[in-house]
Amino acid sequence: METNFHTHTTRCRHASGSDRAYVEQAIESGLKVLGFSDHSPYFFEGDYYSTFRMRPEEAEGYVDSILAMRREYQDDIDIRLGFETEYYPRFFEKLIRFYEQYPVDYIILGQHCLGNEVEGDYSGAPHYGNDSFMQYVNQVIEAMETGCFTYVAHPELFNFFGEQQYFEEAAHKLCDRAAQLSIPLEINLLGMRDGRNYPRRDFFEIAAQHGCDVIIGCDAHSPDMVCDRGSEKIALKWCEELKLHRIEYPVLRRPQLR
């Protein structure tokens, strides 16, 4: 791997290691591009507090740190500034406006909740309804259609226990639209390493049928995960066996409202 655009920092409260340690590990591993995409602040109503993302007042320190490292390490690695975030329709516009004040290179979609965090359902919880995966997929498609997202992280994050035919039907819909919009889908190495419900090989079989662009993302929550050769090897084998169209350099889209 030459690039990784899915990297966290301690600001999200469930990652470890200094910002600099991620960069140094990336250089040591031979990466040419390291993109930081920590869990974005979000702006909700009332007193709801999100526990797995940086607070709005931490964003400036995050941006300053990434930009300072970009200059410091420019001869060794290309550092990019991003965020991982959800598409919550009610709160999305405010979020994109917030990004306007920073030189954000890209954002990736990690749809951790259905609907939104305040009223909705956690995507990783087991879902048994046959139409539940389709609901998730429809929301991901709406997110892709905003034009704001550079790629979809763990597109099959949703923990679906319904019948296989319903999984496949929804997966076809997602992959078809991703291919039309040229938005890459990520094989997530964190899920691979932890044995989570994603990445799913059957999902990527469908992605291959649609000729989707596929990107491997480390989803690093500690510096050592910037280079997880074991998981990387399995992901590369999937790409080869399924004849996936793997890309390393996605077109970075600055998030903006159309």
Quick check: 84 binds Zn ion (CB under 5 A)?
yes
Minimum distance between the CB of residue 221 and Zn ion, rounded to whole angstroms?
6
Residues paired with residue 78 on neighbouring β-strands, in sequence order: 33
**Of 208 and 235, which has the nearer Cβ to Zn ion?**
235
Minimum distance between the CB of residue 209 and Zn ion, rounded to whole angstroms?
26
**Of 196 and 245, which has the nearer Cβ to Zn ion?**
196
Residues paired with residue 202 on neighbouring β-strands, in sequence order: none
**Of 69 and 217, which has the nearer Cβ to Zn ion?**
217
Quick check: 219 binds Zn ion (CB under 5 A)?
yes
- Range 13-42, binding Zn ion (CB under 5 A): none
> Alpha-carbon distance 186 to 206, whole Å?
13
Minimum distance between the CB of residue 40 and Zn ion, rounded to whole angstroms?
10
Q: Enter the DSSP assignment of 252.
A: P
Q: Enter the DSSP assignment of 30.
A: T
Q: Which residue has the tokens 């709160």?
A: 91
**Of 191 and 208, which has the nearer Cβ to Zn ion?**
191
CA quadruple 83, 88, 89, 92: dihedral, nearest 10: -30
- Assess contact for 253 and 106: CB atoms under 8 A: yes
Minimum distance between the CB of residue 39 and Zn ion, rounded to whole angstroms?
6
Chain residues binding Zn ion by CB under 5 A are 84, 219
